Structure 1
Amino acid sequence: MRDLDRKAIRASRRLNWLVERFCVLLLVLLILDVWLGVLVRYILPVSWTFTEELARYLMIWAALLAVSSGISHREHIGMLVVFDQFPPGLRKWLAVAFDIIAFGFFAVIAVYGLDFVERGFSRYTMIGGLPKAYPFIGVPLAAGLACVQLMLVAIHDFFSEDGITAAERVEL
């Protein structure tokens, strides 16, 4: 169990590094797509209608994937005003309880998201007749990443011997 907390936070930060870069890529593609949409609507004499739908999917993917990044740094929504009123020993167990509840929530989304993806293979986008399952796969993927990040930061926070939480730890 020794150094388990540091290994967990290291794995969390490495996974988060990849997710953050992928989110930046999605945002760059989103900006380019929106500009392309403006150009084809007002300047270029082509009728590409897929740009609005692609922008929607890119934005949804980026937002969903960013959830795991927030979890990695413990920057997700919380009631710290109430939480900080409890003694440190009780806070540790409350954090575990909240992590278990959040894990259950994201696990349910991941499982039902897979059914959502499966049904998406029978529906098609305006983007070259692409099955909607490909954009829809962002839901279970993001929920699965959130589950992994929740496990890693919970392991870190629970087994941390120095009492430093995932939110406070800066080194890899």
Structure 2
Amino acid sequence: MSKAEYIFNKINKTLEWFIIIIFALLVLDVLFQVISRYLLGTSFTWTEEFARFSLIWMTIIGAAYLNAKKEHLSMDFLYQKLSIKNKRKASIIIEIFIFLFALIIMVIGGFNLVYTTLHLNQLSGTLRIPLGYVYAILPLSGILIMYFSIYHISNFYSNKNIV
């Protein structure tokens, strides 16, 4: 196993555990909300906001994880009709577009969003945490997606069997 593969696998394993932990916290949070509402007769407002933020983080990190595994949603009817050589070219072009999207929208736009919300001292409604911390998952996930795109492109060039 090469060093690049080792790092790739380590990042993926870390993302798996991170997503599992966020999901477990989300389930516990919603369970606590249901129990407190029906058994204790009181409702805690912070549980809804925590669930929303957890879902945001889980979804955006999940997108990076699926990009690494190449299991994101795609329509590949035309792609399957291509020759091996053209599939490789199309795959590289797709990865370049994914890289550019992650760079422009997620990293640059995400850093701008984080900076703006932190600079304006915007706090979440109930938990009173800076929204920039919540939005920080966007550029982080974008950086991961960019890394995975570079990794996939390098595999297209180094291993002729990968399509």
Q: TM-score w.r.t. structure 2 length?
A: 0.89
Structure scoring higher RCO (CA < 8 A, sep ≥ 6) equals: 1
Residue correspondences, number: 160
Given the alignment of the two structures, is residue 30 of structure 1 paired with residue 26 of structure 2, yes or no? Answer: yes
The answer to whether the Cα contact below 8 Å between 1:16 and 1:69 also exists between their aligned partners in 2 is yes
1:48-95 C-alpha deviation (Å, 9 max, x unpaired): 211001101101101110112111121112232211211111111111
Given the alignment of the two structures, is residue 111 of structure 1 paired with residue 96 of structure 2, yes or no? Answer: no
Post-superposition, which runs of at least 4 consecutive aligned residues in structure 1 deviate over 4 A? none
Report the counterpart of residue 151 of structure 2 in structure 1.
152
Deviation, 1:40, is 2.7
In structure 2, give the amino acid aligned to 1:44: L
How far apart are the structure 1 equivalents of 2:50 and 2:127?
11
Task: Please give the root-mean-square deviation of Cα atoms over the aligned residues, in Å.
Answer: 1.8
How far apart are the structure 1 equivalents of 2:75 and 2:128?
44
- Give the secondary-structure state (helix, strand or coil) at the position aligned to 1:62: helix
Q: Percent identity?
A: 23
How far apart are the structure 2 equivalents of 1:74 and 1:157?
13
Q: TM-score w.r.t. structure 1 length?
A: 0.84
> Which structure is higher in helix share?
2
Structure 2, unpaired ranges of 5+: none
How far apart are the structure 2 equivalents of 1:27 and 1:33?
10
1:109-158 C-alpha deviation (Å, 9 max, x unpaired): 21111111122222111344211111111111111111111111221122
The answer to whether the Cα contact below 8 Å between 2:15 and 2:65 also exists between their aligned partners in 1 is yes
How far apart are the structure 2 equivalents of 1:20 and 1:115?
27
The answer to whether the Cα contact below 8 Å between 1:16 and 1:68 also exists between their aligned partners in 2 is no
Report the counterpart of residue 162 of structure 2 in structure 1.
164
How far apart are the structure 2 equivalents of 1:128 and 1:86?
52
- Give the secondary-structure state (helix, strand or coil) at the position aligned to 1:143: helix
Structure 1, unpaired ranges of 5+: 166-172
Match of 2:49 among 49, 53, 67: 53
